[in-house]
Amino acid sequence: MLDPLEAENLPGELDPALRDEVAHTTARAVVHTARATEDPEVVARLVRLVEREGLDVVAELWSDAAPATLPGALWRLYALREWVRRDPRTIGLRYRLGVDVAPVHEVVAGVPRPPTPEDLRVLADTVLSGVYAGDLAVALERAAAFGRILATGAAYDADAREAADPESATRMTRGAADLTRTAEELEHAAVLWRAGSLD
């Protein structure tokens, strides 16, 4: 048996309180430093953070953070951007299926119609740029609107596939629900940022 001191010094999972502190500290440092410098190259590097560091590194920093926090909001934005970057075909299909049902969200998201894969990548990059060099609340609202359109498109896609592939349709329906929840979380984060309480 190890004594308590030896057990405490064994490498292992980071203490949850320390993990939370690291998430908040790094998110604040990244956002506030970038917003203070107003250097477009710094913003461009931060937008491409996942390409340079990998999604796993960003996930390790921020994915466990509560949604109504700065690191939680950043994680959701980077994950959405990475999905757009990796699977523009599916994103484009879901967007086209959902956009006619969500005209207000289309205006807020600001994607040309019909969107090309490049238009979708530009939107994802523009949203993240807004976090670092624009109105952060607007960036969060644009991402939320985009997510709501994708959720609607996923629900329509699930309905269309129900008879032929019910298992896939069920997965898509769950995915649509997850996207809707993410959109709600981003909208709430925008409200908190405006109130000066998104930390």
Q: What is the pLDDT of residues 135-152, one digit of tens each?
A: 999 999 999 999 999 999
Average pLDDT, the chain: 90
Distance, CA of 182 to CA of 93 (rounded, Å) = 19
| Domain residue ranges of the chain, discontinuous segments joined by + | 15-194
Residue type, 81: R
Q: H or E element: which one contains 77?
A: helix 70-86
CB 128 within 8 A of CB 75: no
How do residues 60-115 score in pLDDT, each as one tens digit?
Answer: 999 999 999 999 999 999 999 999 999 999 999 999 999 988 887 888 888 888 88
User: Model confidence at 133, in pLDDT bands (50, 70, 90)?
Assistant: very high
pLDDT for the residue 151 = 96
Burial grade of 47 (CB within 10 A; 0-12, 13-18, 19 or more): buried
The pair of three-digit structure tokens given for residue 69, joined into one six-digit string: 């926090």
Mean pLDDT for the stretch of residues 125-131: 94
User: Model confidence at 14, in pLDDT bands (50, 70, 90)?
Assistant: low
Measuring CA to CA, which residue among 177, 181, 109, 199 is closest to residue 145?
A: 109
Q: H or E element: which one contains 28?
A: helix 16-37
Q: Which residue has the higher pLDDT, 74 or 11?
A: 74
**What percent of the chain is modeled with pLDDT above 70?**
93
Query: What angle in degrees, to the nearest 10, is found between the helix axes of 70-86 and 16-37?
Result: 80
Distance, CA of 75 to CA of 26 (rounded, Å) = 12
